[in-house]
Structure 1
């Protein structure tokens, strides 16, 4: 498919390049038969030519001499961010065999060049036709998980992918060139109607200097656009409840087998169905000039879930309904052949409603009384404008502006969230009938005004100078978040509990103790806790970057890419004050591609680069802005029968905050170290691709990644107290937490002695006592691919990898903590003991295969399969010394007591990360069959997809907490599964394209 070597490089995150060799100084015409776009470029004295920043799609490339076409190639397919090589004239004659292959490309979106000798990165591109033909969940992340080195992150993060051992918050997402990554947490993104995807590009390493703000992977979407042909269509997809596999029940027990032990959750009663309807239309408003494409889809999912046995005495049966309407509209205006304008608008919103009922486990029935429904609303719109100007044959300008607005509101159940929530803890069954939910964050609500906004622009220039293709650009983006969770319904919540040790502390602060009498209930230890929580704040991150890149055709067969990116990140608190400013983050990128035989049949490539990761907005919500978070304990004599609230209260102590969150503004100089350095990672890749035969390509790649620095918070005030003693200061300072670089020293401004004047406190790495962060990823990727030849397409990937170290990065999958860059890992040095080992995203072996077969013009078949080794298992327990300063963190340490004699610390042993074996291997097979009846001229499609045909439901994650309190013994939930593979799903599709 590719011919003689020529100078080009995969460029722009939403376009591609056609390049090659031809007659010196000849005129090359590149035309789109779909939109009429036409470009003329002139080959240089060596016969090299290139047409860059072209919209993806199919083109005709012609050699014109004396006003006549003397050679041409039809149906040249262009992929996002890729270079497609086309030789013409005498250059094509030199490789006539390859030229005939190029001419034989069938007209379909799957026919893309298999070896791009102009690229040095690691990418996979999925086309609209592939996404229609292969059986895969209609979800952007599900598609991305088919790429080499990608694994599903912890289910508590929504199965967001982890690329190359990175954290789920380390990725970047783009739609038509604009970044749509979640600005609050960096986990997830704004989605779009699935049928609107023209191409989905997944970059898993080695990406150039134009990309930044990611140390994991990049998911890059280009949408469909209008053409000169009028088109319209409709599709209906249905996943019926009756054809769904029954979810596997969940059990207690430490055997690791979810079918053993006491029943924890009757998941077999969890049922659901889903239906999606979509329509689209496109065509020319002015032929060859102005086009439109619009599409809309609406998805409804309804089902029910049964909570655990522990929750069955309360509202444990939920019926839910999710409605997700999405739309996308795109306009393309070819003002002239040299000036193009694109406008894109899309909407991604989800409404969720839950109705609660009581549930009786013995009879497997739910009650008939429905509580007030809880409701959530999430999402908003994204708008993007882009201009491309082909100033000269050698100079191209692109400019882009985008903005987004996402609203988040949560209304908990119970009088529409107007009244306080009243709950009971796991330690008490009294008062009866109250919900059991120790996850109090589920009752946090967001009022109108809670939203995320972004706006940004970028400018890119490309100039060809002899053997050099020079690129440079600048981009800026502001990300604003108004507190996504700003308090409890009714302003507070009450939690009933009971201590097993009356008169012993129930609060580690101020010595508040459990009562000796039951407050009228005649049983010792009963109490109730009142918690007030409010974090309303408007914060923002300002991001900017500049880059320059030289793609140099050093020889006829060797291309070298030299790039440098400079990034700036500034984070602002709720008062508009910067608490983190990071400048001059230089990220060099170096790549090389060797076209070994000069005919694009064998490529050897290598690259090395540095990649930076910014802090998201969520760090500022509580860590840098004023917030209120207090607790107060009481005894009680009665319960209000109307709402379950306690009556006859007697305080056990004044309200207090363990984190000094009393609503006062925080000094930005004390929130983060003045010498804070950004999170960054270094990466090295060596690979090759070979056209084994005209029908098969294969390749191999070795990747090494090393995390060099991270940002997190520490909460240990002992080093500050030591500093005060060394400097003759009285230590009179209630320290919360502060951002730092683990393994490095830092400087902060704190009022250590409480005299009202902050002192500048410098603490060295030795003073702080933390180890250096370590995250390493080493992988060997092998693949074999058969490009679509009009009959079948197939690809097989195998990855042998190892992800290891003492930190996953900005999140903590061990406990599902999503406080990005503010995890508990680095709060105290003791928590980091024994943390070196296999990390949560380590899957040593991973096999992925997918493809489709066109049996006849009417019948097609598709298959996808994945096989993976299991996740490492941990045992997380109490610190051996119950008197240690950090022991109050309870089950947060890599120590466990397996003696069975009650957890006292005396029998505690080290349990290094990943030392408890692995979860079972997982496997999955998806199949589909499509039928396009001849009588409908292939416009009508009936398709059946069966996802997880074998109904495999292996455990994907477990509860790794071994014990809760000293003398309490092993908790019965240790080893209990948290998530399983999704059961079998049947998807029925009917589609008609006009």
Structure 2
């Protein structure tokens, strides 16, 4: 009976999708700020409370949305379909203002209206950017493409936007941790489509920078639309073509190690074409990027001290306006990459590291359908593939020694993943009932498959005198296959109670196909203005979050499993991951003191989804018209996290037990100052105190593409990416002659580390042996724009931007490696710091 009901439900969804073609999963927002002026240029303007706003969709002139500004002159029209609108602003004693606004998919526009009774009004339309989140119950950081180009960012990609967000820390491996969570515990989407790696949950997607419209990092995603996460949400919006043909070329000059000589350390040329195929109907954008980068390890021999990576990214987008009520977007992205000597560091020379090959594709079709009552349906259908091959430099076993490892990497894996995703979101027409209400509800279905081979070679742990301390062998062919269906649904309402109070509330349902559990997650957030005509905002929220179970959990146990009884969250598994056989030797290196002990892969049932309770409170205060200060506090507690623990048994037996017993806790105090004054530029300064503690034997450390070489005891301690203090300031100074100066300064605590003995057993409490030195990096970029002179044939008047970026200007010692083995004479010493580097910049717009 249950299966028949679910089949009927799927049929209804398919019928609905047929009647309303697939959707644009991301809506736009129009935020209006109204102020009044006496007409005196020297006098400051005053926020205008109670101004009447009317927003009319040009496609539906008989339907309008009416609102009034709050006590500080703001109002946000949220969840709007992409189309052309007419905005009318009215207030007693002032002339009416009308302005036509074109809203593109996913855009957030800020409309600044200054009314005066003596001269004509001033209306400024700009895309919202930065950390302030005007008129929203939750805060986010919106970083646009031009800021990513202007700021001094080493990687110069859209992922760098995360580094500009308070509460986000990038670890020594280049992974980003949002609000004290692991990299795989946050959500990443592009135009509404999931772009995470199904096996690990990490971000697995790349596109050229010119294809990016904006990156929005939601640090507190209280909306019920955000699901299957315990961290934050990163939302990538792409650009489309416009009415004019454009050609852009960037980074066509390589970066050399010695500025103008030596090996090439970076070469990242990008080409982008865009324009109309059918005027006012069909537009395209095509962007290509080749990316080569070389990373040095100064503490290794000069001839064998670098690792390299190469990538080619292609992004294609077509935007079709079917009519004034229907728009369709098609996206195709390809992002293959190969890397040599992955994980190269002071103690792992080139021969001990693996090479990798990645192949990724994404195809998505999205559409928005506007109905006659001004409600609309947004839909997204996407298909993503992501394949990873990891292979060693040779067949020799990996040997771990106190000073420096030798041999070849022990894992040689091949895996393939496929994900089909279908989302439908309905946005009801706003209505008035004790205030203004906006309601949306949606559903999502995904089908994911992962398969691969994970064979491992022996690992030899040797003492400083070269005697054998322990040997780890692996038994099993390493084949694994897992397919799951997942289903989610949500309902979310925004209630503007009055000019002082706005409440967002929602409820989310998720069915997990691996642990076979159904989860309900309520969320609530609010915005309150305590004083009239004062720039003081209080925000707060509380919510329950359930994380998605990564597929690496689903392939751990040695088991054959059939279909779950629930069709929408079914699961099929066939796994034979290698089991560890550990032999421990006496000090002579020959006599066996323990083992061979076989550790069977075991799952402690029942498993549960990681469960997180988060609450936050923020106070924003406008010091001046251009300067805003923020004080915020956040606390998050996570239980049921996935951990792996070794348990020894009798008669040379043991188990590696996967369970949901893990827990973590994160606390954060945030101080922020944001200054914006056009056209000078914008500046942000933040200080974050935080504490990230939790169980250390998390599943991502022992499974996946780069599993841990040994499995030791679990412990609750500071997490590896715990950084109690972080200060960050960055900004853009726009000067005369089209010169932009963009400095950045980051100062943060060093990460914790543990000491081990020659057998790689932990000595003392984990992650409490000490910390890396304080990280300090002062970077700056200067860009000059100019027009090509008239004497250059066919190119006269075209724009060119030339600049230079300098990283770690003070050449501060920022080590990435520490000798943690007490069997080494260099125990406790730090190595491998990146010195000052210089990079040129050249961009051409045609």
Report whether the alignment pairs 1:776 with 2:661. no
How many angstroms does 1:52 deviate by?
Answer: 4.9
User: For residue 309 of structure 2, what is the aligned residue in structure 1?
Assistant: 322
User: Aligned partners of 1:77 and 1:860: how far apart in 2?
Assistant: 28
User: Aligned partners of 1:333 and 1:12: how far apart in 2?
Assistant: 11
User: Aligned partners of 2:396 and 2:707: how far apart in 1?
Assistant: 27
User: Aligned partners of 1:79 and 1:290: how far apart in 2?
Assistant: 15
1:630-779 map, 5 Å: 658-660=598-600, 671-674=603-606, 676-716=607-647, 736-742=655-661, 773-779=662-668
Give the number of aligned pairs: 764
1:287-686 map, 5 Å: 287-302=279-294, 317=304, 321-353=308-340, 376-413=356-393, 420-421=395-396, 426=401, 437=406, 442-447=409-414, 450-463=415-428, 464-466=430-432, 467-483=436-452, 485-487=453-455, 534-571=477-514, 580-583=515-518, 585-597=519-531, 601-624=535-558, 625-629=575-579, 658-660=598-600, 671-674=603-606, 676-686=607-617
* Higher-Rg member (1/2): 1
User: For residue 196 of structure 1, what is the aligned residue in structure 2?
Assistant: 211
The secondary structure found in structure 2 opposite 1:213 is coil
How many angstroms does 1:84 deviate by?
Answer: 4.8
The secondary structure found in structure 2 opposite 1:659 is strand
How many angstroms does 1:12 deviate by?
Answer: 9.5
Report whether the alignment pairs 1:216 with 2:231. yes
C-alpha contact (below 8 Å) 1:943/1:990 kept by paired residues: yes
How many angstroms does 1:408 deviate by?
Answer: 2.1
User: Aligned partners of 1:164 and 1:47: how far apart in 2?
Assistant: 35
How many angstroms does 1:164 deviate by?
Answer: 1.5
C-alpha contact (below 8 Å) 1:206/1:608 kept by paired residues: no
User: For residue 761 of structure 1, what is the aligned residue in structure 2?
Assistant: none
How many angstroms does 1:787 deviate by?
Answer: 2.4
C-alpha contact (below 8 Å) 1:24/1:44 kept by paired residues: no
User: Aligned partners of 1:801 and 1:245: how far apart in 2?
Assistant: 42
Q: From the two aligned structures, give the one with the greater strand fraction.
A: 2
C-alpha contact (below 8 Å) 1:77/1:84 kept by paired residues: no
User: Aligned partners of 2:504 and 2:799: how far apart in 1?
Assistant: 45
Residue-by-residue CA offset, 1:562-608 (whole Å, 9 max, x unaligned): 1111112112xxxxxxxx3122x121111111234566943211101
User: Aligned partners of 2:151 and 2:465: how far apart in 1?
Assistant: 56
Report whether the alignment pairs 1:926 with 2:779. yes
Residue-by-residue CA offset, 1:362-381 (whole Å, 9 max, x unaligned): xxxx9xxx999985321221
The secondary structure found in structure 1 opposite 2:655 is coil
User: For residue 28 of structure 2, what is the aligned residue in structure 1?
Assistant: 16
How many angstroms does 1:304 deviate by?
Answer: 6.7
C-alpha contact (below 8 Å) 2:745/2:777 kept by paired residues: yes
Q: Which runs of 5 or more residues in structure 2 are unaligned?
A: 1-22, 35-49, 70-74, 559-574, 790-795
Residue-by-residue CA offset, 1:876-906 (whole Å, 9 max, x unaligned): 569xxxxxxxxxxx5444xx3xxxxxxxxxx
C-alpha contact (below 8 Å) 1:534/1:629 kept by paired residues: no
Q: TM-score, normalised by structure 1?
A: 0.68
How many angstroms does 1:273 deviate by?
Answer: 1.1
How many angstroms does 1:634 deviate by?
Answer: 15
How many angstroms does 1:689 deviate by?
Answer: 2.3
Correspondence for 1:143 among 155, 161, 181: 161
Quote the RMSD (CA, aligned, Å): 4.6
User: For residue 17 of structure 2, what is the aligned residue in structure 1?
Assistant: none
Distance 1:656 1:944, change over 3 A: same
User: Aligned partners of 2:583 and 2:538: how far apart in 1?
Assistant: 67
Distance 1:809 1:604, change over 3 A: farther
User: For residue 646 of structure 1, what is the aligned residue in structure 2?
Assistant: none
How many angstroms does 1:542 deviate by?
Answer: 3.3
C-alpha contact (below 8 Å) 1:872/1:919 kept by paired residues: yes
Q: TM-score, normalised by structure 2?
A: 0.79
User: Aligned partners of 2:754 and 2:304: how far apart in 1?
Assistant: 31
Residue-by-residue CA offset, 1:689-730 (whole Å, 9 max, x unaligned): 233322222222111112233222344266xx9xxxxxxxxx
The secondary structure found in structure 2 opposite 1:797 is strand
Distance 1:113 1:77, change over 3 A: farther
User: Aligned partners of 1:392 and 1:151: how far apart in 2?
Assistant: 46
User: Aligned partners of 2:237 and 2:142: how far apart in 1?
Assistant: 11
C-alpha contact (below 8 Å) 1:171/1:216 kept by paired residues: yes
C-alpha contact (below 8 Å) 1:940/1:990 kept by paired residues: yes
Distance 1:532 1:538, change over 3 A: same
Report whether the alignment pairs 1:939 with 2:827. no
User: Aligned partners of 1:627 and 1:870: how far apart in 2?
Assistant: 36
User: For residue 810 of structure 1, what is the aligned residue in structure 2?
Assistant: 698
User: Aligned partners of 1:733 and 1:843: how far apart in 2?
Assistant: 41
How many angstroms does 1:319 deviate by?
Answer: 6.5
Correspondence for 1:124 among 137, 141, 147: 141
1:127-206 map, 5 Å: 127-137=144-154, 138-153=156-171, 155=172, 158-206=173-221
User: Aligned partners of 1:808 and 1:424: how far apart in 2?
Assistant: 24
Q: Which runs of 5 or more residues in structure 1 are unaligned?
A: 1-10, 32-37, 247-269, 360-365, 415-419, 429-434, 508-528, 572-579, 636-649, 662-669, 722-731, 743-772, 879-889, 897-910, 963-969
How many angstroms does 1:948 deviate by?
Answer: 1.9
Residue-by-residue CA offset, 1:199-244 (whole Å, 9 max, x unaligned): 0111111431100122122211101111112211111254533336
The secondary structure found in structure 2 opposite 1:200 is strand
